[in-house]
Amino acid sequence: MTKHACSRRSFIGMAGAGIAAAALPRWAVAGLFAEARDAELVVFNAKVYTVDSKSPNAEAFAVRGGKFIAVGNSADIKDLIGKKTQIIDAQQMTVVPGFIDSHNHASGNTLLYEVLVGNPYEVEFVTIASIVDKLRLKAKTTPADTWVEGYFFDDTKLKDKRALDVHDLDQVSTELPVAVHHRGGHTTFYNSKALKMAGVTKTTPGMAGGTYDRDGSGELNGRVTDRAREVLYKVGKRPSYSADETMRRDREGLAYISKQFVRFGLTGVCHEGGNLRALEEVRARGDLLHRVSYEAEGAELEAMISGGMMTGLGDDWIKLGATFEHTADGSFSERTMALSIPYPGTNSGYKGNVTETQEVLNAWCERVHRAGIQLNCHANGDVAIDHVLTAYERALQLVPGPDARPKITHCTLINDDLVRRIKAINAVPALFTSYAYYNPDKFHFYGEELMKRCMAYRTLLDAGIPAAAGSDFDPGPFSPLMGIQGMVTRTGWNGEVWGANQRITVDEALRVNTINGAYATREEASKGSITPGKLADFVILAEDLHKVEPEKIKDIRVVRTVVGGLTAYRA
Ligand SMILES: [Zn+2]
């Protein structure tokens, strides 16, 4: 136990570091001391992994005003207990900083209101018959010309051991358009009616950014990838709701997913867009349980640019973050990411989908960066990461500024030169987290040689790059413990090991999921570790992730999640 971070002495440290005590008038400093005596919350008798390298282990800490005020040993911290202090005896359970997910679509209303044809949270195999049945039920109450849609499909989580195809979906309906969306977000499976409404036939050519896939005899098989889906988005009707109804649904969806996040120990999440007004209303109603870094796109991003709103505007609960992921290529899990070599095991020469030209990407990056907004592009394949880095390097050269930290969402397949360039411009990659455990059934499409360079936590950390964790929910389950297990073991649900050279330690995985996430949003001074002066976000775990079998990390029970000193979830 280090002595420096305990009881009142650390409060002095906190006042100095956190709120510049020297700059405050003498009476204000004295006032702070008087108030500091009694903590609002004290946690003691715990195994605390602080993720603060100056003082990595502790037994106890105290919270006041939503922040940690002292971290140290149980005896010293108990000095801060007053009449009104809430006391938690952790009974030797493990406490870690609240987990941070640096990339999440936070699609609460999909979870609440849509037909789910796969399990959002866990590995679960389903049958094609179950998918058809669920959608048939939906079709019964669906008006003419209106889409029947299923979500959270995973092509490698089918008991049938064959691909879902257009014929299956024709069994749902021949009258209504039917779509089954892969949870990865880059491929959709359609029925004949949908393809017909969009005018897609077996002779329709693909394009640079997408494909209409065919079966062995050249007929459309219903799978459409990336931008080739745009013509299908334009046809058919989708349910429409009044403005009030839309707001209510979005509020309920956000409140719902907030509960799910804290249930898994997440206290901070980067949201990919979504209804900002609804988010604010959820917060005003007291239903926002986690902190949000809001990554804007579309109208919200345009409003930021035209209104002079830069990254960082907001407060500790809702803050404008980087942009929504600006997409440069296809998907890792759905095998459409842009590779520099043809997909292994295929003879078609297919190298994936580049979804934007270098020129368009350059212009977008320059415009956003000039507006003072943190850049964020989605790039999976080595070709796309190269494109994104080229655009970032250009933007940073045109408008040099300190600490831009452009974000690379996924940053899946790297090589030495890309790592060098990432480091040179201090880009922050947010890699897939739960995939190592959840998606081993897809890695044979790439093979071990490529997988050695995919989700390359070891390589990036060794290069001094603070890789962060981005579940990309819907595509990946967002459980941070599932993510940590995969980072530590590189072993999938089926026992397969892919890219074992990229394994990292439990402590490194903890950093990835906490302080590195805070760094990715430029908030490492206020979040990401159990340090006096930082926001009191922490998780109590029933078992120590350092001590359980690595294959059981994902099963550790989250006992309590605390955000800003207040309990947001209790098992
Ligand atoms: Zn995403």
Tell me, what amino acid is at 463? A
Helix residue ranges per DSSP H, 403-505: 416-424, 435-438, 440-443, 448-451, 457-462, 480-489
Percentage of residues in the chain with pLDDT exceeding 70?
A: 94
The residue-averaged pLDDT of 192-218 equals: 93
Strand partners, 560: 540, 570
CA distance 283 to 278: 9
State in Å: Cα 256 to ligand 1 middle. 20
CA distance 24 to 181: 56
CA distance 446 to 403: 35
State in Å: Cα 176 to ligand 1 middle. 29
Tell me, what amino acid is at 269? V
State in Å: Cα 511 to ligand 1 middle. 21
Q: Which residues contact 442 (CB under 8 A, 6 or more apart)?
A: 156, 332, 333, 335
pLDDT at 28 over 50: no
Compute the half-sphere exposure of residue 533: CA atoms within 13 Å on the CB side of its CA: 19
The Cβ of residue 475 has, within 10 Å, a number of other Cβ atoms equal to 28
State in Å: Cα 440 to ligand 1 middle. 19
pLDDT of residue 112: 96
The residue-averaged pLDDT of 185-205 equals: 96
State in Å: Cα 104 to ligand 1 middle. 6
pLDDT of residue 35: 52
State in Å: Cα 432 to ligand 1 middle. 10
Structure tokens at 570: 């209790």
State in Å: Cα 51 to ligand 1 middle. 27
| Whether 453 contacts 414, CB under 8 Å | yes
The residue-averaged pLDDT of 351-368 equals: 96
State in Å: Cα 186 to ligand 1 middle. 10
Structure tokens at 557: 């029970």
Rg (CA), the chain: 24
Q: CA 244 → CA 240, 250, 278, distances in Å?
A: 11, 10, 11
State in Å: Cα 555 to ligand 1 middle. 25
Quick one: which of 3, 84, 90 has its CA closest to 39? Answer: 84
The Cβ of residue 258 has, within 10 Å, a number of other Cβ atoms equal to 25
Greater confidence, 523 or 28?
A: 523
pLDDT of residue 479: 98
| Whether 491 contacts 437, CB under 8 Å | yes
State in Å: Cα 167 to ligand 1 middle. 29
pLDDT at 16 over 60: no
Q: CA 330 → CA 211, 213, 326, distances in Å?
A: 11, 15, 11
State in Å: Cα 109 to ligand 1 middle. 16
State in Å: Cα 472 to ligand 1 middle. 5
Helix, strand, coil % over all residues of the chain, rounded to 5: 35, 20, 45
| Whether 512 contacts 504, CB under 8 Å | yes
State in Å: Cα 294 to ligand 1 middle. 13
CA distance 223 to 180: 9
Compute the half-sphere exposure of residue 30: CA atoms within 13 Å on the CB side of its CA: 3
State in Å: Cα 103 to ligand 1 middle. 6
Strand intervals (E) in 183-312:
187-190, 212-214, 220-225, 266-272, 291-296
CA distance 345 to 200: 28
pLDDT of residue 346: 81
The residue-averaged pLDDT of 153-175 equals: 96
Comparing 124-138, 209-223, 340-354, the range with the smallest average pLDDT is 340-354
CA distance 389 to 164: 36
- Give, in degrees to the nearest 5, the angle at Cα 133 between 128 and 135: 100
Alpha-carbon torsion angle 369, 371, 375, 376, nearest 10: -140
pLDDT of residue 313: 98
Q: At what angle do helices 382-398 and 358-370 cross, to 10 degrees?
A: 40
Could you tell me the pLDDT band of residue 37, with boundaries at 50, 70 and 90?
confident
State in Å: Cα 454 to ligand 1 middle. 17
| Strand ranges across the sheet with 47-49 | 57-58, 47-49, 94-97, 538-541, 558-563, 566-570
Average pLDDT, the chain: 93
State in Å: Cα 10 to ligand 1 middle. 40
State in Å: Cα 72 to ligand 1 middle. 39
CA distance 45 to 571: 19
Query: What separation, in Å, do the N-terminal and C-terminal C-alpha atoms of the chain show?
Result: 29
State in Å: Cα 46 to ligand 1 middle. 36
The Cβ of residue 29 has, within 10 Å, a number of other Cβ atoms equal to 15
The secondary element (H helix, E strand) that includes residue 192 is helix 192-197
Quick one: which of 75, 64, 67, 86 has its CA closest to 3? Answer: 75
Could you tell me the pLDDT band of residue 208, with boundaries at 50, 70 and 90?
confident
State in Å: Cα 477 to ligand 1 middle. 12
- For residue range 472-512, list pLDDT tens digits in order: 999 999 999 999 999 999 999 999 999 999 999 999 999 99
Structure tokens at 449: 């040689």
State in Å: Cα 200 to ligand 1 middle. 27
The residue-averaged pLDDT of 205-234 equals: 93
State in Å: Cα 474 to ligand 1 middle. 8
Compute the half-sphere exposure of residue 356: CA atoms within 13 Å on the CB side of its CA: 22
pLDDT at 64 over 90: yes
The residue-averaged pLDDT of 36-51 equals: 93
Question: Does residue 389 sit in helix, strand or coil?
Answer: helix
pLDDT of residue 345: 81
- For residue range 237-268, list pLDDT tens digits in order: 999 999 999 999 999 999 999 999 999 999 99
Q: CA 143 → CA 238, 416, 500, distances in Å?
A: 10, 54, 51
State in Å: Cα 502 to ligand 1 middle. 22
pLDDT at 209 over 90: no
- For residue range 292-327, list pLDDT tens digits in order: 999 999 999 999 999 999 999 999 999 999 999 999
Place of tokens 């120990």: 265
